[in-house]
């Protein structure tokens, strides 16, 4: 089985978010980057499936050179090789185009990625890739088993779960508990440096550019008002919060 896992390199969840260049660029200074948490689960499941069924796992990142530590960590976790499309991941369509371009040449049985990245959280790349390749896509996938050329999938739906089957090839957006979260072991880390990491140039150009980022307004202090003073609350909502 040939599996492609698409991963993002995203700021650590505790990172302090700020911008530079007139609020048009994210300020990377002092920020630690991690593998997108959902992508991490997708990769873990890919490695487990490889252990069960044999085959190869390729990691793909659309991003700049500073994403390579995250890519090498994926190799340490158990991917066999990696591809980095050397460009800024400007928008979902552009990223999906890059992925589809590679997938079209390589004929993967499974293309896995997180249900969404945790930086821009669009959650549409899997759908776009599938559309571009003309194959089905499903998300968010919480459970995935392969029998022959059939995937048995459990998907989260509003208020419940859906169990379904689909034929390979597929594009899947994944989330926990699809696999056990993996920590790279020493052997993996030591072998990561010997695994191929191919850098290729992108096709086409991004369709969007960022005019300005804005942070949400800081949270105000919380005022507690006793239940018996409901009138005071009304006054405050009118005079201070100005929402009434």
Partner 1 sequence: MTITANKASIKGGEFLIKDIDASQIFTPEDFTEEQQMIAQTCLDFLRTEVHPRLDEIDYAKNTDLMVELMDKAGELGLLGTAIPEEYGGFGMNFNTSMLVAEACGGGHSFSVALSAHTGIGTLPILYYGNEEQKAKYLPRLASGEWKAAYCLTEPDAGSDANSGKTKAVLSEDGKHYIINGQKMWITNGGFADLFIVFAKIDADKSLTAFIVEKDFGGITMNEEERKMGIKGSSTRQIFFNDCKVPVENQLYTREGGFKIAVNILNIGRIKLASAVVGASKGIIGKAVNYANERKQFGTSISNFGAIKHKIAEMNVKVFASESACYRAGQNIDDAIEDLLASGVESSQAKLKGVEQFAIECAMLKVHGSEILDFIVDEGVQIYGGMGFSAEAPMDRAYRDSRINRIFEGTNEINRLLSVGTVVKRAMKGEINLMPAAMEVGKEIMAIPDFSISDEEGIFVAEKKVIKNMKKAILMVAGAALQKFMMKFEQEQEIIMNLADMMIELYVAESTLLRVEKLITVRGEAACALQKDAALIYLHSAVEKTNNAGKSAITSFAEGDELRVMLMGLKRFTKIEPMNLKDARRRIAEVSIEKNSYAF
Work out how close the CB of 182 gets to partner 1 at its nearest, in angstroms, rounded to a whole number: 9
Decide if residue 163 touches partner 1 (CB under 8 A): no
Closest approach of Cβ 78 to partner 1, in Å?
13
The answer to whether residues 25 and 88 touch, using CB atoms and an 8 Å cutoff, is no
| 189 lines the binding site for partner 1 (CB under 8 A) | yes
For residues 119 and 115, what is the distance between their CA atoms, to the nearest angstrom?
12
Exposure string over 90-114, b if 16+ CB within 10 A, otherwise e? bbbbbbbbbbbbbbeeeebbbbbbb
Nearest distance in Å: CB 79, partner 1: 14
Residues between 76 and 95 that touch partner 1 (CB under 8 A):
76
Pick the piece of the chain touching partner 1 (CB under 8 A) from 3-11, 55-63, 158-166, 182-190. Answer: 182-190
> Does 11 contact partner 1 by CB under 8 A?
no
3-state helix vs strand vs coil in the chain, percent to 5: 30, 30, 40
Nearer residue to partner 1 within complex by CB, 3 or 192: 192
Q: How far is the CB of 184 from partner 1 (least distance, A)?
A: 6
Q: How many CA atoms lie within 13 A of 128 on its CB side?
A: 18
CA-to-CA distance for 73 and 76, rounded, in angstroms?
5
Residue 13 interacts with partner 1 (CB under 8 A)? no
Under rule CB under 8 A, residue 183 binds partner 1: yes
**Planar angle of CA 65, 12, 219, nearest 5 degrees:** 130
Binding site for partner 1 (CB under 8 A): 14, 16, 69, 72-73, 76, 181, 183-187, 189-190, 192-193
């Amino acid at each position: 089985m040939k599996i492609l896992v698409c991963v993002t390199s995203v700021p650590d969840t505790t990172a302090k978010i700020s911008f530079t260049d007139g609020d048009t660029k994210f300020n990377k200074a002092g920020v630690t980057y991690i593998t997108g948490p959902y992508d991490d689960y997708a990769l873990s499941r890919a490695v487990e499936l490889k252990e069960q069924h044999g085959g190869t796992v390729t990691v793909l990142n659309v991003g700049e050179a500073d994403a390579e530590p995250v890519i090498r960590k994926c190799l340490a976790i158990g991917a066999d090789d990696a591809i980095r499309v050397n460009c800024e991941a400007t928008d979902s369509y552009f990223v999906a185009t890059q992925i589809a371009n590679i997938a079209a040449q390589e004929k993967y049985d499974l293309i896995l990625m997180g249900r969404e990245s945790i930086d821009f959280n669009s959650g549409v790349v899997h759908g776009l890739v599938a559309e571009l390749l003309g194959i089905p896509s499903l998300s968010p996938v919480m459970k995935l088993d392969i029998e022959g050329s059939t995937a048995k999938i459990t998907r989260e739906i509003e208020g419940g779960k859906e169990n379904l089957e689909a034929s390979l090839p597929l594009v899947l957006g994944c989330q926990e508990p699809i696999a056990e979260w993996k920590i790279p072991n020493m052997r993996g880390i030591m072998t990561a440096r010997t695994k191929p990491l191919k850098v290729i140039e992108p096709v086409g150009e991004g369709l969007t550019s960022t005019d300005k980022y804005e942070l949400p307004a800081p949270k105000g202090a919380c005022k507690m008002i006793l239940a018996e003073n409901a009138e005071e609350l009304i006054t405050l909502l009118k005079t201070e919060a100005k929402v009434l």
